[in-house]
Amino acid sequence: MANIPTDIPMRRGMLFVLSSPSGAGKTTLARKLLEQEDNLFMSVSATTRTPRPSEEEGKDYIFVDQEAFQNMIKDGALLE
């Protein structure tokens, strides 16, 4: 199974989604918010695609095979 973080406490909170076209500044905005707010965490999406050379497992994405991804859906492990 994928390296899914388990050390983030489960608690009620708010979910913010940053969505925009490529190059609009989502990553820059997210980094600034994370620098300024101690109580914000970045979620890491799961994907079945092959990692790009610069991507790190567990940081950029959680890379899983199709079977593991389907199990994550079935088990309710995904928010998206």
Identify whether 11 is part of a domain.
Answer: no
Domain count within the chain: 1
Provide the residue type at 79 as one letter: L
Q: Contact, 45 vs 80, CB < 8 A?
A: yes
What is the length of the chain?
Answer: 80
Identify whether 46 is part of a domain.
Answer: yes
State the pTM of this model. Answer: 0.64
Identify whether 60 is part of a domain.
Answer: yes
Give the pLDDT of residue 4: 60
Provide the residue type at 27 as one letter: T
CA 55 to each of CA 9, 36, 60, 75, 78: distance values in angstroms, whole numbers, following the listed order: 26, 24, 6, 26, 20
Q: What percent of the chain has pLDDT over 90?
A: 57
- pLDDT tens column, 35-65: 999 888 888 899 999 999 999 999 989 999 9
Identify whether 14 is part of a domain.
Answer: no
Count of other CB atoms within 10 angstroms of residue 63: 19
Give the pLDDT of residue 29: 94
Give the pLDDT of residue 33: 93
Identify whether 38 is part of a domain.
Answer: yes
Identify whether 30 is part of a domain.
Answer: yes
Return the closest-CA partner of residue 6 out of 66, 77, 65. Answer: 77
Identify whether 40 is part of a domain.
Answer: yes
Identify whether 5 is part of a domain.
Answer: no
Question: In which domain, by residue range, is 42 found?
Answer: 26-74
